[in-house]
């Protein structure tokens, strides 16, 4: 196991009716609030009214930043920074999925920064200060509710990058707020959660039995609950389990003492920077192909994955055969829940393949399990066509 430091200050407030805690958060952080949300789903399923009635009861002054796009845009973030400065807000409340939370994080670190907030995403600067951010999550997927990552797209330059920004001070997770997530977004979320675990599971770090079993527990729990939630979107316990898995998959628990990979996320970000496709859909296409491209680096790990997660029977089979069966099972699971499996499913051909391969490695080779150059990425993308 490698050395590690673990620090996660986010207060996680989980379960039915937990929105009642918003009142004490207003008392704690102040009444002048920027409310950030997306394209209107929170109005349609009634959460906006619930939030506003608590904020109005507390006589809050609420400034709104609506319309945050899936794959949130830098232009929207800049609008939010301006609003916070004009209104001198005390703190930011993000209500929505990962895109809304990521945009709100960018606003939170952008307000006290004198330069261009994009500097944080291009690694020209590191955030030192942030406005307080609270979140009410409505979609199980990114883990953004309990980490400091934020992914923003600069649509003018067609670049989509992640940055370490700020942890939410608190996040309210009520599984009922995810009942209305449409089937396709539910599937993308499941693919994203599984992919976060893959990024941290495929490693060369030896002697990490607890981290390995944590990761396997999350993967098995997601698989067990995926079809349940798709069959009945209002199954509270299935929604709760997926939601909890989403948070635990990317809140810093899995990488404790482990070298992690993250190449596939860089590749997906490059694809969605050029084609604006859903993140989880892109991952479902790319991950099995990344696996086939790299598994020989540590076939032992892939063998364990096949047996422990997918129940592959290893008897009489070579390591390669077992590993490949596990990869095929991963692909079959994604297909079974209705995820896309080829870039062609998004009408993407090889026109921009080299461009995407370049964009995937903006700061040099990516990945730790196997270091990938733009040539490797192009090869993997070709396998995805
Ligand atoms: O915009 P609204 O109207 O709210 O609709 C959203 C959006 O259209 C809808 N939705 C969300 N909650 C809903 C709902 N519809 C009905 N009922 C609800 N309860 O779902 C659509 C997608 O929302 P979005 O926030 O874009 O999805 P997700 O949470 O998957 O976030 C994706 C973004 O997060 C980034 C991705 O790259 C992508 O930009 N990531 C962020 C990470 C992080 N911060 O740690 C890590 C991830 O790997 C990922 O890269
Ligand atoms: Zn992801």
Pocket test for ligand 1, best of 19, 185, 263 (most atoms within 8 A of CB): 185
Assess whether the C-beta atom of 165 lies below 6 angstroms from ligand 1.
no
Mean pLDDT over residues 110-135, rounded?
98
Q: How much is the pLDDT for 163?
A: 97
pLDDT tens for each residue of 264-292: 999 999 999 999 999 999 999 999 999 99
Q: Which atom of ligand 1 is nearest to the CA of 42?
A: 4
* pTM of structure: 0.98
SS (H, E, C) the chain: CCCCCCCCCCEEEECCCHHHHHHHHHHHHCCEEEEEECCCHHHHCCHHHHHHHHHHHCCCEEEEECCCCCCCEHHHHHHHHHHHHHHCCCEEEEEECHHHHHHHHHHHHHCCCCCCHHHHCCCCCCCCCCCEEEEEECCCCCCHHHCCEEEEEECCCCEEEEEECCCCCEEEECHHHHCCCCHHHHHHHHHHHHHHHHHHHCCCCCCCHHHHHHHHHHHHHHHHHHHHHHHCCCCHHHHHHHHHHHHHHCCCCCCCCCCCCCHHHHHHHHHHHHHCCCHHHHHHHHHHHHHHHHHHHHHHHHHHHHHHHHCCCCCCCCHHHHHHHHHHHHHHHHHHCCCCCCHHHHCCCCCCHHHHHHHCCCCCCECCCCCECHHHHHHHHHHHC
CATH code for the domain defined by 11-178: 3.40.50.1970
102: Cβ below 6 Å to ligand 1?
Answer: yes
pLDDT digits (tens, 9 = 90+) for 244-257: 999 999 999 999 99
Equal fold, 11-178 vs 183-384: no
Q: From the CA of 98, how far away is ligand 1's center (Å)?
A: 4
CATH superfamily of 183-384: Dehydroquinate synthase-like - alpha domain (1.20.1090.10)
Cα 177 to middle of ligand 2, angstroms: 20
**Which residue ranges make up each domain of the chain?**
11-178, 183-384
| Band of pLDDT at residue 90, cut at 50, 70 and 90 | very high
Average per-residue pLDDT for the chain = 97
Separation of 288 CA from ligand 2 center, angstroms? 15
Tens digit of each residue's pLDDT (9 = 90 or more) over 157-183: 989 999 999 999 999 999 999 999 999
Q: Specify which residues 171 forms β-bridges with.
A: 12, 135
Query: Residue 92 C-alpha to ligand 2 middle, in angstroms?
Result: 23
């Amino acid at each position: 196991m490698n050395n590690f430091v673990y620090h996660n200050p986010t207060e996680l407030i989980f379960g039915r009716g937990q929105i009642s805690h918003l009142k004490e958060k207003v008392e704690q952080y102040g009444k002048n609030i920027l409310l950030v949300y997306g394209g209107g789903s929170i109005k349609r399923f009634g959460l906006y009214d619930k939030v506003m009635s608590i904020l109005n009861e507390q006589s809050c002054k609420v400034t709104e930043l609506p319309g945050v796009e899936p794959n949130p845009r830098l232009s929207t973030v800049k609008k939010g920074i301006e609003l916070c400065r004009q209104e001198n807000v005390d703190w930011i409340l993000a209500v929505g999925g990962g895109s809304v939370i990521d945009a709100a994080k960018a606003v939170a670190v952008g307000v006290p920064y004198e330069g261009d907030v994009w500097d944080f995403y291009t690694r020209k600067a590191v955030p030192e200060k942030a406005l307080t951010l609270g979140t009410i999550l409505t979609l199980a997927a990114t883990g953004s509710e309990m980490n400091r990552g934020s992914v923003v797209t600069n649509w003018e330059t067609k670049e989509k990058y992640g940055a370490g920004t700020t942890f939410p001070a608190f996040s309210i997770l009520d599984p009922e707020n995810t009942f209305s997530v449409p089937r396709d977004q539910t599937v993308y979320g499941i693919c994203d959660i599984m992919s976060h675990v893959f990024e941290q599971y495929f490693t060369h770090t030896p002697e990490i039995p607890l981290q390995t079993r944590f990761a396997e527990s999350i993967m098995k729990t997601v698989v067990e609950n995926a079809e349940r939630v798709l069959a009945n979107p209002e199954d509270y316990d299935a929604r709760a389990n997926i939601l909890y898995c989403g948070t635990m998959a990317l809140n810093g628990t899995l990488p404790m003492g482990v070298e992690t990979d993250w190449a596939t996320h860089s590749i997906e970000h490059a694809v969605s920077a050029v084609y604006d496709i859903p993140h989880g859909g892109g991952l479902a296409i790319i991950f099995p192909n990344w696996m086939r491209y790299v598994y020989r680096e540590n076939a032992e790990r892939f063998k364990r994955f096949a047996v422990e997660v997918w129940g592959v029977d290893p008897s009489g089979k070579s390591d390669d055969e077992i590993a490949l069966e596990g990869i095929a099972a991963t692909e079959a699971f994604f297909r079974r829940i209705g995820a896309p499996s080829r870039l062609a499913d998004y009408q993407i051909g090889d026109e921009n393949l080299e461009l995407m391969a370049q964009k995937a490695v903006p700061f040099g080779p990516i990945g730790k399990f196997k270091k990938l150059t733009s040539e490797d990425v192009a090869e993997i993308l070709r396998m995805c066509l």
